[in-house]
Amino acid sequence: MSILKLEPAVKDYLWGGHRLVEEYHVNYSGPVCAEAWVLSCHPDGPSVIASGEYKGKTLPEYIREKGRELLGSSCRRFEYFPILTKLIDAKENLSIQVHPDDAYALKHEGQYGKTEMWYVLDAEPGAFLYYGFQRELSLEEFEERIRNNTLTEVLHKLYVKKGDSVFIEAGTVHAIGKGILLAEIQQNSNVTYRVYDYGRIGKDGRQRELHIRQAKDVTRRLPPSRRETDYPHVADCGYFTVDRLFLDGEHSAKISGTVDSTSFLHILILDGEGRISCGEDAMPYRKGDSFFLPASSASWTLEGSCDALLSFVRPPRSCR
């Protein structure tokens, strides 16, 4: 097969809403759908193939059966599948958190660290993200503000709107604010160190665990620098490259590309409807659909109207 349509794993975290079900056609019957892991080989929530002869298999099972060659030559440097892609609906604020880099995470957690990017799909008026610090903090001030619950006073508020993107390197303190819907493309990791959680109570009736010691080890206590990319790249680093694709259905209603031997391609449909084809495979698409195209799948075509994110892994020498 040249096109694998994927069904996501779903997470019902307490801060989530229900827009992913209502607007992005995520198949889930629970009251809270906080995250949909639309491209995942992570054991905490693998994606499942939704159509064709491999329907019902998880994406990791398919890769084990068909071989790692379908990931492409650019992925040989990674021990595990490199990317995890999510849709996230923040009805309430997420915790203030930080992710470790690869060296720390592999040593202490047995999985990759997490560098990630956010692409904002919708945001209520006045919605903002926490993104790094306003100024440099000493370790002593960092510890003191964690103890007295004043950390948010020195965090940088980044007000966002639909179409904004933010690149978040490992070690950067951050949080998604309430009223924001976004797509997240990240390293294949589920390591998160909470620093502050507004005193919220989890499903077990207790305050959720904080990870202060680990956060002190990995946090960069400096203001972050915004990372610039060239169109059509929304993000471009050694772990993943993300491009935005837009068809208005009138002046532009068809686009083609090629999946060569260097990398698989993931296509996430953010809006619109139409038809996707690759090789002998073709199927309709709509808002929220997730497609995995193995390396060397040759030419693909999207027809109709769509706003989409295309994710792949570039060769090491061309990453920056």
Active site residue 206: no
From the candidates 68, 77, 135, 194, give the one annotated as an active-site residue. Answer: 194
Strand runs labelled E in 21-106: 35-39, 48-49, 83-90, 96-98
Handedness of CA 236, 9, 1, 62 (dihedral sign): positive
Q: In this structure, what DSSP letter does residue 209 have? A: P
Query: Could you list the active site residues?
Result: 194
